[in-house]
Chain A
Amino acid sequence: MTTTPPVHCKNLWKIFGARSAEALAAAQAGKVDKEEALKQFGCVIGVADASFTVNEGEVFCIMGLSGSGKSTVIRHVNRLIEPTAGQVHVEGRDVMALNATELRNVRARKIGMVFQHMALWPHKTIAENVAFGLEVQNSPRNKRRSAAEEALQKVGLGGWGERYPDQLSGGMQQRVGLARAMAADPDILLMDEPFSALDPLIRKDLQDEFLKLSREMKKTTLFITHDLDEAMRMGNRIAIMKDGRIVQTGTPESIVLRPETDYVARFVQSISTLKYISAAEIMTNKPVMPNAPVFGPSTPLPALLDAFKQGADHLAIKDGETVLGRIGQADVLATVQSDLARV
């Protein structure tokens, strides 16, 4: 590994309850599961042996249903929650080894956070909300003001700084939440179900805008959601959680096409695979005609369809000069058919 990843969690455990140490030992030894831990020790296993790495500039989604421990995991990164066991590293530094002042500095400068229910302070103006991270660091007033205005402009709310949160609609409030997270120009964004509380249309707008912003600004993002579609749209990689455990980590394609457990398979069942299927996965090794259009093995299905629409009978899949296989119209239809049957 040449660069230190912005966020790295290793064998993270969080067990809530008075007898968490005993429950941890039993759970680590594999003697108790979530239900048994509650029955025997009165402890709730929030996170069980979670390990993941978020690479620089990527959007890493953690997806799971409510109670799966995803919101607990994200709070370990800025140590809003202390782990029962395991390690959390932010930019190579062990978060657990920081003293109170260092931790506050990391929170104020390195990590911005967006919350599910916005959590804007109702007694502060929008600008004051946005600039709070800078206020905490005692940066001068005029610098705070300009940073707040700049962050608000990025989310399309320039000039709204003097208003109060209750004068804004839900979607606008969450834009403010986003501006607040970015105002101190942190390297890492923690987003805890940021768009879940919004109407579907507004949610989609904000997702698009966030994707645009995150591509522009290259912020490393840890994104929590309970919505698989959202995870697929937002994430460069996705980790799926169940009962505190990460059951599968991978790209959206690999999650949809190659679910590793029944649980994940059930989850992705409703997602059409067609968008993620690439040429290599549906080609057959029949001979190809020399005039057939040529595509690489990783070409996604939608691009192949265009070639068929232009009248091709079949396509040649080549890696450089080597013919790997061919895709006929029947192969495409069979793929569509099996995808329809799957749902």
Chain B
Amino acid sequence: MDISTLLDPFSILHLPLADMANDFIRWLTSNFRDVFRAMKVPVKILLDLIEDGLRGAPQTLIVLLIGLLGWQVVNRATGLLAFFAMTTIGLIGAWDAAMTSLSVLTSAVLLATMAGLPVGILCSRSNLMWAIVRPILDFMQTVPSFTYLVPVILLFGIGNVPGVIVTAFFATPPLIRLTNLALRSVREDLVEAGNAFGASPWKLLWAIEMPLARPTIMAGLNQTVMLSLAMSVIASMISVAGLGRLVLVGISQLDMARAATGGVGIVLLAMVFDRITQGFGLTRRDRNGHSLWEQGPVGHLRALFSTSQKTQDIPTEEETL
């Protein structure tokens, strides 16, 4: 070995990462193809169910339902915003694409939640688990989103179902992170009080820790939703239909009309989804002392039908003393 190789070592030293990755994915596809195929089935069922519902239902009904949901979960202004946003999506001719995007999105968010919540809960229980999961999350969140597409194509193929899988995979990390953080930062004395009154670990989790952690967990879910929306454009490269595809076609054909339609559609959908998911994270205090079902349309209906019309004024300081 002469001095020039010492100064220039990479001319002869190689770590065959590319080959290793290749071998690994080949090994996975040849040995576990059926497993990955089987994994697609429940996702497909979920996606079809949601898509049939969204595309089969009358457009007016969907617009009204989303508007009412915004009103119920946040307030009347958000309800109106959701109503007009959905109407605009219909008016600009992006309705069908938006419904497809919405079903991919909803399926992906459901999957991400089913995976992210339990993992986040486990991470908050065990430092070892968190020590293992944390670097994986770091990795998942630093890898450029395009990179996910290659293994997904090789393992799952192309189309809407692999699109749901890659979107869910991409969007889960913040939910895990924030679920872990939320549960770890629940006030210790409130947990101790639960223990002191004989709550089992399970009871403690569902009756005390999860409700108290809810605002932060919902912030995580909101991140998951936003990432899913961002991913929907990228996932269109593996032939996922919806608003993302409009944008992608617009880019590739320099078709400003389609790009604008898809882009505006995504922004409107994002606004609606963002507000509504954030609304689930509001506490009773944020809602002026009302719980979720004491306000909005349901609240009005309940007030209408309730026989005992008790006024629930919050007492002032003087009254209580």
Q: Which residues of A contact B (CB under 8 A)?
A: 78, 80, 100, 103-109, 111-113, 115, 117, 119-123, 132-133, 135-137, 162, 164, 166-169, 172, 180, 184, 190
Contact = CB atoms under 8 A, between A and B. Distances in A.
B198 A164 contact: no
Given A132-B197, A164-B289, 17 more contacts: A104-B198, A107-B195, A107-B198, A115-B193, A121-B194, A121-B211, A122-B283, A123-B283, A132-B199, A136-B198, A136-B199, A136-B200, A137-B198, A167-B289, A167-B315, A169-B317, A180-B197
Contacts of B194: 121, 132
A178 to B, nearest CB: 13
Contacts of A120: 193
B14 interface: no
Interface in B73-89: none
A112 B317 CA distance: 29
B282 to A, nearest CB: 12
Given A119-B189, A164-B284, A113 B196 contact: yes
Q: Which of B189, B211, B312, B314 has the most chain A CB atoms inside 10 A of its CB?
A: B189
Interface string B267-293: 000000000000000011100010000
Interface string B76-109: 0000000000000000000000000000000000
Contacts of A104: 198-200
Nearest to B314: A167
B13 interface: no
B12 interface: no
Given A121-B193, A167-B315, A108 B198 contact: yes
Contacts of B197: 107-108, 112-113, 132-133, 136, 180, 184
Contacts of B317: 169
Nearest to A177: B193
21 contacts: A100-B200, A104-B199, A107-B198, A112-B197, A115-B196, A120-B193, A121-B190, A121-B193, A121-B208, A121-B211, A123-B212, A123-B284, A132-B197, A132-B199, A133-B198, A136-B198, A136-B199, A136-B200, A164-B284, A167-B314, A167-B315
Contacts of B189: 115, 117, 119
B192 A168 contact: no
Contacts of B203: 136
Size bracket, chain B contacts: 20 to 34
Interface of B: 187, 189-190, 192-200, 203, 207-208, 211-212, 283-285, 289, 312, 314-315, 317, 320-321
B212 A168 contact: no
A162 B315 CA distance: 13
Contacts of A132: 194, 197, 199, 207
A164 B284 CA distance: 9
A65 B289 CA distance: 39
Given A135-B207, A168-B320, A169-B317, A122 B212 contact: yes
B319 to A, nearest CB: 10
A169 B192 contact: no
Closest 4 CB pairs of A and B: A108-B198, A107-B198, A119-B193, A104-B198
Contact of A121 (B196, B212, B312, B315): B212
Contacts of A115: 189, 192-193, 196
A80 B321 contact: no
Given A133-B197, A162-B312, A167-B314, A80 B320 contact: no
A69 B123 CA distance: 32
A164 B211 CA distance: 14
A190 B315 CA distance: 31
Nearest to B204: A136
